Structure 1
C-alpha cells in the first residue's frame, strides 16, 4: 500500500478509512485485514476516526509473516478529533514480525470529548528503527496513545515473545498540554504501557514514556522481560511536567520491571519525576541476576531516579531494587531527591552483592543518594540496604543529605558477610557512608546504622560519618560487627558549630586503628560552639600503634567535651590523655570549656598494657628438660611417659595444657611374678605368669618400698614418703593402667579404700620410686611432676 498519482503531477496518499464525519451521528465501521504480509509505505495509512457524534471503529490486522511500516507517519491511526464526541477505536496487530522504520507510527489519540482507544500488539519480534531527522531533530518511529482534551489516553499493550528492539524509537501513553490553545489541555488520565517480551533493548535516545503535561495523572510503565532489559543512551520515564507556565495536576505513574537482568549504560536511565501538583511515581525492580548502571563518555545521567522537581508539590516516589547483584560504576547513580515542597522518596535495596566503584572517567558521582536540595521544603528520604557483601570503593558513596530546612535521611545497612570502604575518586571524593547537613542546611542529619557484618574494613581515606556543616544537629552512628579494622580511615560524628553526634560500637572481636585513623564526635571544628558527642565502645580489644596517631576523641572548642565509655578486655597502643598528642590518644577535651570524661572498664586481671615483640629464634626445648633418671651403661631408653598430676603441667614445653587426670592406683611389686629387663616376655602383657629367667645383675640402688597412696600437702597432691606416717588417707579410683597400645591386658587393682601409713616408695635419700608389677620396669621421679624414663636391657621390643 503506497501513494497514487493524482493526475496533476502530484500524489494522493492511498489508504483504508472508516470514519464518522463532521455532523455525522453513529459509529464508524470496523477495519479488519487478514493477510500473509502487509506493507504500509510512503505516506499510506489505515485510519479510523470520528469527527461527529459517534465512536471510531476498531482496526484489526492479522498477518502470518510480517507487517512493515516504512516512511508512514500515522501509518495506522485511530482518533477522536477536536469536535468529535465519542470513543476512539482500538488498534490490534497480530503478526510474526512487526517493523516500523523511517519515522513510521501506530497511534491512538483523542482531541475531543471521548477516550482514545488502546493499542494491542502480539508478535514474535518488534523492531522500530531508522528514524529520519527533521531540522536536526530525529523523527521517532513510534507506538503511542495520547489525550489532549477531556478523554483518557488509551493503554499500549505489547506482547513480543522473542524480542523488542528500538533504535531511536518511542513507545508512550501521554496526557498532552495542547500548546498555547486553552481548549486543548488534557484533563484525562494517561494510559498504561505494558510490555511482555523475551528481551528488551533500547538504544540511540529511544524512550518508553507514561507522562502528563495536562491536568490528569500519568499512567504506569510495566515491563516483564524474561531474558533481560538493556537501555543504552535511552530512558524509561513517568512524569508530571510543567509547561507554558502552568503546573500539571496529577501524579506520575509507577515503573515496575521484572526479568533476568537490567543494564543501563551511556546515559540509560529510569525516571519517575514530578514538577506539578502531584506525587512522583515509585520505581520497583526485581531481577534474578544483575543490575548494572555504568555511565559513558557522553556524560548523560546514567541511573535510576525519583525526584520532586522545583515547583513540584507532592511526595517523591520510592525506589525498591531486588537483584542477585548490583553494580554501579563510571557515573552510575541511584537517586531520590526533592527540590519541591514535598519529601524525597525512600530507597530500599536487597541484593547478594553490592559494588559501588567511583572511578569515573567524567568525575561524576557514583553511588546511592537521597537529597533535599536548597530549594526544597521537605525531607530527604531514607536508604535501606540488605546484602551479603558491600564494597564502596574509589569514591563511591551511600549518602543522605539536606541543604535546606528538611531533615537528611537515615542510612541503614544489614550486611551478613563483609563491608568494605576503600579509597578516593580521581577528583578526591572519599568512599563514604554518610548522612549530613550541608552548609546552608537548617535541618538535622540522619542516623547511620550498620549491623551484622562479620568484618568492617575502612581504609585509604574512606569513612563513615554523620555531621553538620550548618546549624542543624548531627546524627548518630551505631555499628555492630564481629571485627572492625580502620586503616587511614575514620568514623565521625563531627560538627562545625553544633553538638556532635554520638557513636556506639559493639564489636565482638577486636577494633584495630592504624595509620592516623580516628573515631570522633568532636564539636566546633570551625572553632565554634557545640558540645562533643559521646562514644560508647563494647569490644574484646582495642589495638593501635602508639606512634601512628590513631585517636578516639570526643573533643570540643568552646563547649564541653563529650564522654567516652569503653568496655574491653584489653587496650593496646592507645591510652587516655587529657589533651591530644602526636601519639595515639583517647581524649574528651575542650579548649575553652569543661573537659569530658573517659571511662575505661577492664577486668581486674588483664594482659600487660602494651604489645611485646616475640623473639625471632624459637627456644630449643631439648635443653630445657632435666634428665632425672640416668641410663644404665648396658641399657638404652625404650620410651618415656609423663604424668602431670594435679599441678597441670604440660606433657612437654611445646604441648598444650591438659586437664587434671584421674588418679590411678600404683602396682604392687610381686617378687614371684615380676619380670626383669632381660626377659623376652617382659613386654608381652601386663600380669603375665611366665616364669622369670635368670636374674640379671643390677647396679646398686636404694631399696624400693611399695607406695601406699597419696597425701595432700600445702604444695598440692603428690606421693608421700615413709616419713609422713602421721597422714592417713583412702585410696581412690583404682582404675586399670596401660602403658602402650601393644599391651593386650590391663590389670584391675584393689578397689577397697584402706588406711595406710607408708605413702610412697622412697629410697634412703627420699627420692620416690614406682614399681609396676609384671613389667620389669623401674621408674624414678622428681617431686613436682612425675617424669619417668622407662628402660629395659634387651632390644627385642620397644615401648
Structure 2
C-alpha cells in the first residue's frame, strides 16, 4: 500500500520522479518518500528537506531505504541532511542517493550535482545502531559525515559502500572552515547560515556518547579515510539481533572488528571535555581532556597497501589487547608517518599472537614511521608457537626499501616478557629504521629491540646488506635494560651497524642483558650519559666490527659500576680494528668480581673473536681510556686489551687520583683474551695470547699507562702487558705523585712466555714505592727481557718480593736492565735479578743516598753461560773503592786495626780491608749490618737521618737476623753500623787525612 503524502512531499516526489526516475512513467508507481516517521522505520527525516523512502527490496534481496533531498547551500559541494533516527538493521541498506536537493530557501536543484561532502545529523537522542550497510549512489568519491551525539554502534554484519571518505562522530557540531557551525541540535538560525566550506573541526559542548565497533568489517575505497570521533560517555542500546539491552563503554571501542582504508587514513579520536578536534590532523585544542580508546579481541586497523597510508589515534587512555594497527607498504613509499598515536593518558599493549603496531615494507618502497606520545606506556609480548617470534612494534624491511622509524615519547615505559618489543631491522638490502625512546622512567625487562639484522642470516646465505638503524633511549630518571633484554643495532658482515645513545640519571644494564652495536663496515658508536651507570649479572655493553675500524663506546657518568661478571667491550671479527672504550666517571669507576653468580669476570675489554679455527685477519683490539678520581678493580675484575692474531692489542690509559687493584677469582672468558678456567687476579691487561690466528707475524701487546696520586696493588692484583707469541710485550708506565704499594701476591708484569720480547716497565712512584710478597717482572722464557725503571723521591722498599728482568732463552737473548733511584733503598729477603741462562745478563743500577739490604736479599745480574751483567750501586755511605791486591800470608787481626789504626803505616806499606758475604753484595766499610734487634717503625722524608740516630740494643751476633713486624704490620729490619763513616779509607798512607804521623 502506498503511503499518503502531504503537499510538500508530493511536490518533492514529483520533481524526483521527473528528474531522476525516468524509468517510472508515473510517480504513483515509484518508490514513495516520507517526511514523517513510520512506526517501523529505523531512518526518519527531521528537516533540511531530507527525504527517506519507505523500505523496499534491493537488488541483492536486502531491504533498502533511499535518502534524497537535503540542503545544498548555493548549489555547492556540501549536502546537508537531518535525521530524527538513523539506524540500519541487519540485511538493511541506507542508501544516500544523489537526487534532487534544495537551497536554503527550499528551491530544488537538479539531481546529480557534484558533491564533496555529505553531512548528516541525528537529532532524536537515540543512538545509531548500524548492523546493516550504509552506501552512497551517484556521489562519486564524495565524503560522508554522520553525526549523532547520542552514540553510534556497529554490529558484526555492518558494512560500508562509500565512494569517498567516511566519518562517524558523536560531536555536538561540525565547525566549517568559514566559522559556520552545523549543529547536531536543529537551530533555524544556524541552519540558515550553512555554507559550502569544508569541515575544519569537530566540536564538543556537552558530554557526548561513545562509538563501538563490535565485530564489524568496515572499509573505504583505496586512498580514502575512515574516521571515528567520539565523546567518552557510555550508553545502552537494544541489540536488533537479540533484542537484549547492551551497554557500550565510554570512548571508542573496536572489538573483533576490522577497519580498513588501503593507502588511506584511519582516524580515531575521543574527547571527554568541551573543545574542538581538528578535522585535518585530528589534534585537540590545548587543554582538552581526551577519552578512552580500546582495541581488543583481534581487532585490526589497517591502511596497508602498495602505498601505505596513515593511522592516527588521539585520546586519553589507549588500550591495545590482542589487536593490531597496521600500515605496511610494498613497492611505493608509504606515508611518512604510518602510525601516529598521541594520547594524554596511559597506553598499554598486550599481544601474544600478533604484533600490535606494524609499518613494514616488503618491496622497494620505504616504510613509514611509528610515532607514539603517551602519558605512560606498558608493553607485554611473548613468542608465538613453533619458535616464531613476533615484535610488538614492527617496522622491519624484507625488501629493498628502508624500514620505518619508531619514536616513543612517554612518561614511564615498562616493556616486559621475552619476545621482541621493537623491530626496525632489515632482513635484506633495505636499511633498518631508527628507534628513539624518551621518558621519565624506562624499563625494558625481557623483550628485545633490534634496528638491524642477525648476522646468522648472512651465514645462511641470505642477502643482508642493509645497514642497521640508530637507537636512542633517554630517561630523565631511570633507564633500566634487563633482566634478560637484548638491545641491538646489528648489521651483516657487509653492512653498517647503527649508533646507540643511552641517557638517564640512573642507567642500568642488568640480569644477563646484551646491548650491542655491531657492523661489518663503517664505524658505529655507543654513547652513555648518566649520573650513575651500572652493569650487573653478566650483562654486556658491546661494539663489534668486521672490516672497518670499529665503533667506540663512550660513557660519561658520575659513578660507573660493573659487577657480577658484566662487561663493556669492543671487539672485531676480521681485519677491522676494534673501537675505543672511553670511560669518564667524575666520582668513581668500580669493577667488582665479588658476589659473582657467573664464571665471567667483570671487565672492560677490547679483543678479537674467532669464528672457527685458522687465520682470521689482522684486526686488533682497540684502546681503552679511563678518567676518574677513583678506580677500583676488585675480586678478579679486569681491564683488558688482547690480540691473538696479527693485529696489535690496544693501549690502556688510566688517569685517576686513586687506583686500587685487589683480589682474584676463578674466571672463564669466552674468547682467547684469557686462559679459560684460570685463576685470574684483578688487574689491567694488554697482552698477546696464542698465535694460531696470526697471519704472518703476530701483533704486539699494548701500552699500559697509569697516572695517579696513589696506586694500591694487592691481594693478587695484576698489571700485565705480557706476550705468549712472537708479538712483543707491551710497555707499562706507572706514574704516581704520592705512592705505589704492591703487596700480597700482586704483580706488575711485562713477562714473555713466547718468542716475542718482553716489554718495559717504568714506575715513578712519587714519594714512596713499597712492595711486599709481590713482583715486578719483565722476564722472558724464549726472548729478551724488558727494562725496569723504578723511581721514588723518598723510599723504595722490597720485602719478600722480586724485581726481575731475567731471561731463560738462547745466546741471542739478554736480560733487561734494572734501574732504581730513590733516597733510600730497603731490601728485606728481596731479589733484584737481571740473570740470563745462555744469553747476557742485564745491568742493575741502584742510585741512592742510603742502601739497606739484609743478608737474605740478592742483587744479581749473572749469566749461567753468557756474559754477566753489571751491578752498580751508587751510595754516598758505601765506599767500595781502592784496588784489589794480594794480601800477605799473615793476616793481621782486625781487632788490632780497630784499636790502633796507625799501625799499618809503620812499615810504610799500604793495605786494603775487604769484607765479603756469601751470595750477596759485600757489606761495605761504613755500611749497615743486620742485627737481631727490632727497631721502632719509621717512615717519612727524613728516613736516612732518622736511621743514623737509631740506638741499637744488641743481643749478640746472629748471621741470619730475623725480619720483624711492627704493631701496624709494616715489616722493618734492624741495622747497625759496621764502622763509623770514613773510618776505613781508600789507603793507609802518611797523610793528614788519616790522622797518623809517619
TM-score range, shorter chain: 0.5 to 0.7
Alpha-carbon separation, structure 2, partners of 1:45 and 1:614: 92
Alpha-carbon separation, structure 1, partners of 2:562 and 2:649: 23
1:329 matched to 2:567? The reply is: no
Alpha-carbon separation, structure 1, partners of 2:809 and 2:379: 66
- TM-superposed deviation, 1:155: 1.4
Alpha-carbon separation, structure 2, partners of 1:225 and 1:612: 67
Gap runs ≥5 in structure 1: 178-184, 242-246, 296-300, 619-652, 655-799
**What per-residue deviation string (whole Å, max 9, x for no partner) do you get for residues 519-539 of structure 1?**
11122x2xx3x2221111221
Q: Does structure 2 conserve the Cα–Cα contact (< 8 Å) formed by 1:86 and 1:113? A: no
Name the residue aligned to 1:99: 348
1:538 matched to 2:791? The reply is: yes
- TM-superposed deviation, 1:270: 0.9
1:174 matched to 2:430? The reply is: no
Secondary structure of 1:401's counterpart equals strand
- TM-superposed deviation, 1:112: 3.1
Alpha-carbon separation, structure 2, partners of 1:146 and 1:2: 33
1:506 matched to 2:764? The reply is: yes
- TM-superposed deviation, 1:513: 1.7
**What per-residue deviation string (whole Å, max 9, x for no partner) do you get for residues 234-265 of structure 1?**
02110103xxxxx5x43110010111011122
Of 411, 421, 435, the match for 1:161: 411
- TM-superposed deviation, 1:146: 2.2
- TM-superposed deviation, 1:486: 1.3
Of 459, 463, 469, the match for 1:219: 469
Q: Does structure 2 conserve the Cα–Cα contact (< 8 Å) formed by 1:459 and 1:489? A: yes
Name the residue aligned to 1:522: 779
User: Within 5 A, what are the aligned runs for 1:243-262?
Assistant: 249-262=494-507
CA RMSD in angstroms, aligned pairs only: 3.3
Alpha-carbon separation, structure 1, partners of 2:154 and 2:757: 76
Alpha-carbon separation, structure 2, partners of 1:577 and 1:541: 19
- TM-superposed deviation, 1:108: 0.7
Of 61, 75, 97, the match for 2:313: 61
Q: Does structure 2 conserve the Cα–Cα contact (< 8 Å) formed by 1:358 and 1:425? A: no
Name the residue aligned to 2:541: 304
Secondary structure of 2:751's counterpart equals coil
User: Within 5 A, what are the aligned runs for 1:380-529?
Assistant: 380-425=621-666, 428-440=679-691, 442-481=697-736, 482-487=738-743, 488-496=745-753, 497-515=755-773, 517-523=774-780, 525=781, 528=782
CA 27–136 in structure 1, closer or farther in 2 if over 3 Å, else same: closer
Q: Does structure 1 conserve the Cα–Cα contact (< 8 Å) formed by 2:801 and 2:831? A: no
Q: Does structure 2 conserve the Cα–Cα contact (< 8 Å) formed by 1:555 and 1:588? A: no
Name the residue aligned to 1:283: 526
**What per-residue deviation string (whole Å, max 9, x for no partner) do you get for residues 140-189 of structure 1?**
4x122122223222211110023343334634353432xxxxxxx433x2
Name the residue aligned to 1:294: 536
Of 147, 157, 166, the match for 2:397: 147
CA 107–2 in structure 1, closer or farther in 2 if over 3 Å, else same: farther
Greater RCO, 1 or 2 (C-alpha within 8 Å, sep 6+): 1
1:114 matched to 2:356? The reply is: no
Name the residue aligned to 1:774: none
**What per-residue deviation string (whole Å, max 9, x for no partner) do you get for residues 338-388 of structure 1?**
122211111110112122122322211321111124534211101111111
Alpha-carbon separation, structure 2, partners of 1:153 and 1:13: 31
Of 342, 354, 365, the match for 2:589: 354
- TM-superposed deviation, 1:505: 0.9
**What per-residue deviation string (whole Å, max 9, x for no partner) do you get for residues 748-799 of structure 1?**
xxxxxxxxxxxxxxxxxxxxxxxxxxxxxxxxxxxxxxxxxxxxxxxxxxxx
Alpha-carbon separation, structure 2, partners of 1:133 and 1:164: 21
Alpha-carbon separation, structure 2, partners of 1:132 and 1:357: 35
User: Within 5 A, what are the aligned runs for 1:730-745?
Assistant: none
Q: Does structure 1 conserve the Cα–Cα contact (< 8 Å) formed by 2:649 and 2:686? A: yes
Alpha-carbon separation, structure 1, partners of 2:215 and 2:642: 59
**What per-residue deviation string (whole Å, max 9, x for no partner) do you get for residues 111-165 of structure 1?**
233221111111011111153642366654x122122223222211110023343
CA 598–463 in structure 1, closer or farther in 2 if over 3 Å, else same: farther
User: Within 5 A, what are the aligned runs for 1:120-139?
Assistant: 120-129=371-380, 131=382, 133-135=384-386, 139=390
**What per-residue deviation string (whole Å, max 9, x for no partner) do you get for residues 71-128 of structure 1?**
12xx1111213x5566465211111111111234111122233221111111011111
1:76 matched to 2:325? The reply is: yes
- TM-superposed deviation, 1:30: 2.7
Q: Does structure 2 conserve the Cα–Cα contact (< 8 Å) formed by 1:346 and 1:382? A: yes
CA 617–102 in structure 1, closer or farther in 2 if over 3 Å, else same: closer
Name the residue aligned to 1:696: none
User: Within 5 A, what are the aligned runs for 1:763-778?
Assistant: none
Secondary structure of 2:633's counterpart equals strand
Q: Does structure 1 conserve the Cα–Cα contact (< 8 Å) formed by 2:329 and 2:360? A: yes
- TM-superposed deviation, 1:69: 1.2
**What per-residue deviation string (whole Å, max 9, x for no partner) do you get for residues 704-759 of structure 1?**
xxxxxxxxxxxxxxxxxxxxxxxxxxxxxxxxxxxxxxxxxxxxxxxxxxxxxxxx
- TM-superposed deviation, 1:443: 2.9
- TM-superposed deviation, 1:320: 0.7
- TM-superposed deviation, 1:444: 3.5
**What per-residue deviation string (whole Å, max 9, x for no partner) do you get for residues 551-586 of structure 1?**
344444321222112212111124767869994434
Q: Which moved more, 1:575-584 or 1:596-605?
A: 575-584
Name the residue aligned to 1:585: 858
1:195 matched to 2:444? The reply is: no
1:568 matched to 2:822? The reply is: yes
Alpha-carbon separation, structure 2, partners of 1:461 and 1:582: 27
Name the residue aligned to 1:367: 603
Q: Does structure 2 conserve the Cα–Cα contact (< 8 Å) formed by 1:536 and 1:566? A: yes
Alpha-carbon separation, structure 1, partners of 2:299 and 2:703: 62
1:379 matched to 2:620? The reply is: yes
CA 424–602 in structure 1, closer or farther in 2 if over 3 Å, else same: farther
Gap runs ≥5 in structure 2: 1-152, 160-212, 225-260, 271-290, 455-463, 611-615, 668-676, 837-853, 880-925, 938-949, 952-998
- TM-superposed deviation, 1:4: 3.5
Q: Does structure 1 conserve the Cα–Cα contact (< 8 Å) formed by 2:731 and 2:759? A: yes
- TM-superposed deviation, 1:437: 0.8
- TM-superposed deviation, 1:611: 7.7
Q: Does structure 1 conserve the Cα–Cα contact (< 8 Å) formed by 2:154 and 2:214? A: no
Of 218, 222, 242, the match for 1:20: 222
Alpha-carbon separation, structure 1, partners of 2:647 and 2:219: 58
- TM-superposed deviation, 1:473: 0.7
**What per-residue deviation string (whole Å, max 9, x for no partner) do you get for residues 578-614 of structure 1?**
8699944344444443333444444568996578787
1:557 matched to 2:813? The reply is: no
Alpha-carbon separation, structure 1, partners of 2:336 and 2:646: 48
Name the residue aligned to 2:508: 263
- TM-superposed deviation, 1:14: 3.8
Alpha-carbon separation, structure 1, partners of 2:220 and 2:403: 20
Alpha-carbon separation, structure 2, partners of 1:18 and 1:143: 25
Q: Does structure 1 conserve the Cα–Cα contact (< 8 Å) formed by 2:631 and 2:660? A: yes
Name the residue aligned to 2:912: none
Secondary structure of 1:461's counterpart equals coil
Alpha-carbon separation, structure 2, partners of 1:148 and 1:578: 65
CA 132–211 in structure 1, closer or farther in 2 if over 3 Å, else same: closer
Secondary structure of 1:135's counterpart equals helix
Alpha-carbon separation, structure 2, partners of 1:322 and 1:617: 48
